[in-house]
Each structure stands twice: as C-alpha cells, then as structure tokens.
Amino acid sequence: MNKNYGGIKFVLTLLFIYLMLFEFILPVNRVLPQPSQIIESFVESWNVYDMFQSLASTTTVIYVSMLLAYLLILAVLKTGLNLFASFDFSAVRPIKYVPFLFPVLLFLFWFGASFWGELLFGFVFVSAMLKLSAAEKMNDIKKEYIDVAFNLGMSKQEVAKTVVHKILQKYLYRVLIAKHYLVWMVVLFYEFAEKGNGLGGIYYKALYYNDFVFLFVIAVITTFLIWAGDKILLIIEEKYFNWEE
C-alpha cells in the first residue's frame, strides 16, 4: 500500500512540475507541449482522428489474439505430451536474426490494410510466443510428476489433462501478463506500418501531419490503456488462478 501511495505521489509531483514549467514559465516549444494544448487536442481528437473506432480496433486485436492463442495452446496441451515435450530450441534459434519488419510486411503484402489480417498476425505472434513458453516449461516439469501419474494407470491424455495442463494453465497466463506490453508494441508497430487501422495508424497520421501536440495525446491514451490492461489481467489472475501450484 505504501509503495502504491509513494508511486502516486511521485507521478503527481512530476505532473505539478510539468504544469508549472510548460504552462506558465517556459515559452511554447517543441520539447513538450503546454498542458492546455494537450487538453484541447484530446477533446478535438475524437472527431478528427476517429478515436473511438481506432481504440476499439486496437484493443480488439490485442485481447482477442491473446485470448484465442491462450485457449488454443491449452487445447493442444490436452491432446498429449509429445507435442511440446523435448522441444529442440536450437531449431528455431536462427529466427531471432530475421528482421521483425519482414513478417509484418509479408502480412501486409498478403492481406493489405485489413482488420482480419492484423488480427491473424496478432494471433500468430501470441500463439508462437506461448508455444515456445509452453515447450520451455515442459522441459522443466519434474519427471517424477509424470512417472507417478503413469504409475497410477493414467493414459497419456489423462496425464496431459490433469498434470501438464494444470501446471501450464497458470504459467501461460503469467506469460501473457509479462508479455502484455510487448504484444501492445507489436500490434502498434503493425498498425503504424499499415498506415490505416487502430492507434498505430493514428500515430502515423499525427506524424505525417506534423501534429506535435497530438503525438503526446495519443501517447498518454496508449499508456493509460496498457496500464488498465495490466490491472485487469492481474485481477483476472487473482480471481480465477488463485490456487496452489
């Protein structure tokens, strides 16, 4: 509680300093805009940049991708151990040298400025991330747990459902929380390159039209959404995954 209170005091102090400096002391500049300009731009942006549709598009892509990928990996885990056990990470290691821009441009080439193409890209990215995380965790599961389950007469699928699935269910959700910011950045990057849908497209338009003030407005909105998403994910974890491993 004291930590949270201290963090709030720090943020409020920074806001106060920013307000005093850039609203009343320093002249208009291109370092940080005046607070009054940010407020005016925020109000106007909902009509000029079609903010509501962009917010809906980006958040839908991010959280639907995360949900579908999470459910898919858990469903695959129930089918048997051999799909994730003893995964050879050396086989995929060269992928880390491929420029991230390439798959983005590839999807844009295939699907153009399409909401469904963006959703598919988000889903593929999160699925791949969770699959690698699941495989890594599978290699860390103690062999004794699996041996005991088999000795109790369980089939491979029963072991997958009762032992592996239970362990990875919470672990993968924690991966989603840990990678939540990364998923946001990936989707925003895709939208920026797409120059169309979502908040990333608005970043592009603000930069294209040299709208200095609105760049800060959209950054504040994005920051708030990521923060709110983090809090909601943590609340869900506390409510639905609050069991002993």
Residue-wise pLDDT for 205-243, tens only, equals 888 888 888 888 898 899 999 999 999 999 998 888 765
- Pick from 187, 162, 175, 163: nearest CA to 132: 175
What are the backbone dihedrals phi and psi of residue 128, each rounded to the nearest 5 degrees, phi first? -65, -40
Asked whether 168 and 83 are in contact (CB, 8 A), the reply is no
Asked whether 84 and 77 are in contact (CB, 8 A), the reply is yes
- Pick from 171, 185, 193: nearest CA to 229: 185
Residue 244: pLDDT band with limits 50, 70, 90? very low
Q: What is the mean pLDDT of residues 27-50?
A: 74
For residues 163 and 65, the model is more confident at 65
- pLDDT score, position 92: 58
Asked whether 195 and 105 are in contact (CB, 8 A), the reply is no
Q: What mean pLDDT is reported for the chain? A: 80
Q: What span, in angstroms and rounded, lies between the C-alpha atoms of 11 and 46?
A: 26
Q: Is the pLDDT of residue 16 over 80?
A: no
Q: Which amino acid is at 20?
A: M
Q: What is the mean pLDDT of residues 189-208?
A: 90
Q: Is the pLDDT of residue 148 over 70?
A: no
- pLDDT score, position 212: 83
Beta-carbon contacts of 196 under 8 Å, excluding residues fewer than 6 positions away, are 113
